[in-house]
């Protein structure tokens, strides 16, 4: 009976040793390893009336786990997202959630949260304003200019759309002496002429059909500009100066002869409390063009006397 018990004890000891040895061998063949990944960050549960800005495009993570598991993990197997189900208009800080494959452990996440801006999604249509790039030869002028389409639909954050003053289309005319067509890009600009970025445009370019005439006449005409709105409390507009004060008009004689000056759109001075520069486009007229077709306007303001 004693010998029988001893045999079972030996068998149990051997089994335990075998199990331990098996784990040792497995661990040597499939040791713990680490992998680094750059994972795209997605937005989830955002109400369709909103749009999120400043969302990080990617987040860096490092995982650990059995080597056989880690070598089969790619960035597409990891999910990084921000949950905006409770988003409201304005700035907010939100956590970046990371979901990892089974059998792995998250060792490092480079960015755990993000400061983002929630804005109302808006859509607005703008009429295209042509801008001529280059100089036409002497006695050559534009008799007609047609843009197809002549408007652009802008979509994105409402606060950015409200900053758009004009939709400009750049038309290369340097050394042209015969009719031409061109696909020209569209740009959105602030009132001072600086670009407005971060918005979608449909389309992003327009086809421009230009007809030229070779017996153009020219003359110079003065530039007139007015203001609209009121400066900040305690301030008044002291001076409004177009630069240049006169421009050249070139085109058909019957058109040029009727133009004695150009009236720019009124400059909106609402709320300003310091001198500010604006960029204004000359009006478009059939049969003639102005050079330059973009005029700088300086509005000087000062405290009430």
CATH number (domain holding residue 133): 2.170.120.40
Q: Are residues 220 and 303 in the same domain?
A: yes
Enclosing domain of residue 178: 120-215
Closest CA to 300 of 247, 243, 262, 246: 243
Domain assignment present for 20: no
Q: Are residues 237 and 210 in the same domain?
A: no
Say which CATH number the domain at 60 has. Answer: 2.170.120.30
Domain assignment present for 1: no
Rounded to whole angstroms, what are the CA distances from 229 to 75, 136, 270? 54, 38, 5
Domain assignment present for 5: no
Number of domains in the chain: 3
Domain assignment present for 10: no
What's the pLDDT at 11?
67
What's the pLDDT at 285?
83
What's the pLDDT at 62?
93
Domain assignment present for 22: no
Q: Are residues 105 and 124 in the same domain?
A: no
Given 80, 111, 142, the domain boundary residue is 111
Rounded to whole angstroms, what are the CA distances from 196 to 49, 128, 156, 189, 265? 21, 15, 12, 5, 20
Alpha-carbon radius of gyration of the chain: 34
Given 215, 230, 248, the domain boundary residue is 215
What's the pLDDT at 17?
66
Domain assignment present for 225: yes
What's the pLDDT at 59?
95
What's the pLDDT at 148?
94
Q: Are residues 134 and 158 in the same domain?
A: yes
- The terminus-to-terminus CA distance of the chain in angstroms comes to 119
What's the pLDDT at 14?
67
Long-range contacts formed by 182-186: CB under 8 A, 24+ apart: 182/207, 182/208, 182/210, 183/207, 183/208, 184/208, 186/128, 186/152
Q: Are residues 223 and 293 in the same domain?
A: yes
What's the pLDDT at 248?
92
SS3 297: strand
Domain assignment present for 69: yes
Q: Are residues 202 and 225 in the same domain?
A: no
Series of mean pLDDT values for 10-residue runs along the chain (305 residues)? 59 66 55 86 94 93 87 90 92 94 90 94 95 85 90 95 94 86 94 91 94 89 92 90 92 90 90 91 87 91 82
Given 64, 82, 111, the domain boundary residue is 111
Q: Are residues 192 and 124 in the same domain?
A: yes
Q: Helix, strand, coil proportions of the chain in percent (round to 5)?
A: 15, 55, 35
Residues with Cβ < 8 Å from 260, sequence gap 6 or more?
A: 221
Domain assignment present for 145: yes
């Amino acid at each position: 009976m004693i010998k029988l018990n001893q045999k079972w004890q030996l068998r149990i000891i051997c089994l335990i040793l075998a199990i331990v040895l098996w784990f040792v061998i497995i661990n040597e063949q499939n040791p713990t390893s680490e992998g680094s990944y750059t994972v795209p960050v997605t937005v989830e549960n955002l109400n369709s009336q909103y749009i999120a800005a400043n969302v990080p495009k990617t987040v860096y993570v490092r995982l650990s786990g059995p080597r056989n598991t880690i070598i089969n993990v790619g960035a597409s197997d990891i999910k990084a997202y921000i949950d905006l189900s409770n988003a409201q208009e304005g700035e907010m800080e939100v956590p970046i959630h990371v979901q990892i494959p089974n059998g792995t452990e998250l060792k490092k996440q480079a960015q755990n949260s993000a400061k983002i801006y929630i804005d109302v999604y808006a859509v607005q249509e703008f009429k295209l304003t042509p801008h001529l790039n280059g100089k036409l030869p002497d006695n050559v002028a534009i008799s007609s200019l047609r843009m197809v389409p002549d408007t652009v639909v802008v979509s994105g954050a409402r606060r950015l759309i409200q900053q758009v003053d004009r939709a400009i289309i750049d038309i290369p005319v340097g050394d042209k002496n015969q009719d031409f067509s061109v696909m020209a890009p569209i740009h959105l600009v602030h009132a001072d002429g600086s670009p407005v970025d971060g918005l979608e445009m449909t389309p992003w370019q327009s086809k421009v059909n230009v007809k030229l005439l070779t017996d153009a006449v020219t003359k110079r005409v003065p530039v007139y500009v007015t203001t609209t709105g009121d400066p900040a409390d305690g301030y008044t507009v002291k001076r409004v100066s177009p630069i240049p004060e006169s421009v050249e008009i070139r085109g058909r004689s019957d058109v040029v002869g009727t133009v004695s000056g150009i009236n720019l759109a009124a400059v909106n001075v609402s709320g300003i409390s310091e001198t500010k520069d604006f960029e204004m486009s000359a009006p478009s007229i059939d049969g003639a063009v102005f050079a330059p077709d973009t005029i700088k306007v300086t509005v000087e303001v000062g405290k009430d006397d």
